[in-house]
Amino acid sequence: MNKNDIIVIHGTDYKEMAKKVMEAADVAGRIGDRSTSIGLKPNLVTSSTPESGATTHAELLCGAIEYLQEHGFQDITIMEGSWVGEITPNAFRTAGYDQVIRKYGVPFYDLQKDSWTEYDARGMKIKLCDKAAGIGFMINMPVLKGHCQTIVTCALKNNKGVIPNQEKRRFHTLGLHKPIAHLNTIAKNDFILVDNICGDLDFEEGGNPVQMDRVLGFLDPVLCDTFVCESMGYEKDDIEYIVLAEKLGVGSTDLEHANIIYLNEPVAGRSMKKRTRRVEALERYIEADDACSACYGSLIYAMDRLNDRGMLGRGTKKVCIGQGFRGKTGDIGVGACTSCFKKTLGGCPPKAKDMLEFLEKNL
Ligand code: SF4
């Protein structure tokens, strides 16, 4: 796998999807020595179930652990420190990780209780938890979701879990963007396995999940978060910490030269487990027939951006989406399945950013 590669898999067997992404990325080959200590860093920001759109699904941890154990790695630790107002073990149990550690015999380490050391993070002093700093290979497992302060959150911000609580408080007083960018000059991001199953519309604590049923793999955390921006209908320049992280040499925002490797095709039929009033309000402007989760989720994000701009209301035409529209004609649709429509946007699935641009011009 190269640094500009992005691995994408669609489906609902999340454990197997995680294994396939790691296989395609040859994570075992990247780690090399079977005695290497490996950290799995999920997002356990708070005590919320993964279905709420806040935390990393336990199935992804299961897939990562099975992959590593099947390749002969034994020194595996799940590690995380929830945000300041939460006790990590509570979040750990709520997300179902207690069953994961029992099943696979893998320990969990609460980074809120860890010692720390201060480092020079390219011109900014930052304290890092010793257990996270000393790990041989770190697999960052963030959730692709919205955030009330930084707009989006994924790989770069997930590393806030590897700093002590006092440092998390300081980050907030500094406005998050600058310290997050600097943190990633010292935090490890050896492989990034993204939970894009059902991240929240705009809040890190969850509550309005958007079902996408995807798992993604990256080597570059900046490329990852740039991809996340476009998946949610934003520009990278909207998110200060991404631009700053690139300037600090953490990675590249060059999505144009990224190589997207699709391990399978999107599957028709959504597995939406939870639908909230806010998502339902956006769905009033959508006509779906056998839409794939990734396509439909992207349209929900695009609709939310349009709503932010005051472009949705009485009289707004419905946007068609889904495999049920293949070969049919109509007024306006998104995705390759609506290619016979008068106004249509190609892509399978198209990104939320492209949907937004298209709908702004054509709705
Ligand atoms: S364009 Fe059609 S097949 Fe492709 S992701 Fe969208 S709904 Fe699915």
Cis peptide bond prior to 209, omega within 30° of 0: no
Compute the distance from residue 362 Cα to the ligand 1 centre, in Å: 20
Q: What is the pLDDT of residue 221?
A: 98
Residue 137 belongs to what H/E stretch? strand 137-141
Query: What stretches of 105-214 show up as alpha helix (H) in DSSP?
Result: 130-133, 155-158, 165-173, 177-183
User: Residue 201 is part of which domain span?
Assistant: 5-262
Q: What is the pLDDT of residue 273?
A: 61
Q: How many CA atoms lie within 13 A of 46 on its CB side?
A: 11
Compute the distance from residue 226 Cα to the ligand 1 centre, in Å: 22
Q: Of all atoms in ligand 1, which is nearest to the CA of residue 267?
A: 8
Average pLDDT of adjacent 10-residue blocks, the chain of 363 residues: 97 97 98 98 92 95 98 97 87 94 96 96 97 98 92 95 95 95 97 96 88 97 97 94 98 97 87 76 94 94 95 93 96 97 96 96 93
Compute the distance from residue 212 Cα to the ligand 1 centre, in Å: 12
Give the closest residue to 6 by CA, choosing from 117, 113, 119, 155. 155
Nearest CA to ligand 1 atom 8: 292
What are the beta bridge partners of residue 343? 332
Q: What is the pLDDT of residue 197?
A: 96
Best residue among 10, 270, 292 to mutate for probing ligand 1, ranked by most atoms within 8 Å of CB:
292
Q: Of all atoms in ligand 1, which is nearest to the CA of residue 347?
A: 1
- CATH number, domain of 136, equals 3.40.50.11440
Q: Of all atoms in ligand 1, which is nearest to the CA of residue 321?
A: 7
Q: What is the pLDDT of residue 204?
A: 85
Q: Is residue 272 domain-resident?
A: no
**Same structural domain, 254 and 320:** no
Q: What is the pLDDT of residue 270?
A: 63
Lining ligand 1 with CB less than 6 A are 266, 291-292, 294-295, 321-323, 335-337, 348-349
What's the CA gap between 89 and 288, in Å, rounded? 40
Q: Is residue 268 domain-resident?
A: no
For the stretch 210-246, pLDDT in tens is 999 999 999 999 999 999 999 999 999 999 999 999 9
Q: What is the pLDDT of residue 267?
A: 81
To the question of pTM greater than 0.85 for the whole model, the response is: yes
**Same structural domain, 194 and 329:** no
Question: How far, in Å, are 50, 84, 312, 342 from residue 207 at the CA level?
Answer: 10, 20, 22, 36
**Same structural domain, 251 and 312:** no
Q: Is residue 131 domain-resident?
A: yes
Specify the number of domains making up the chain: 2
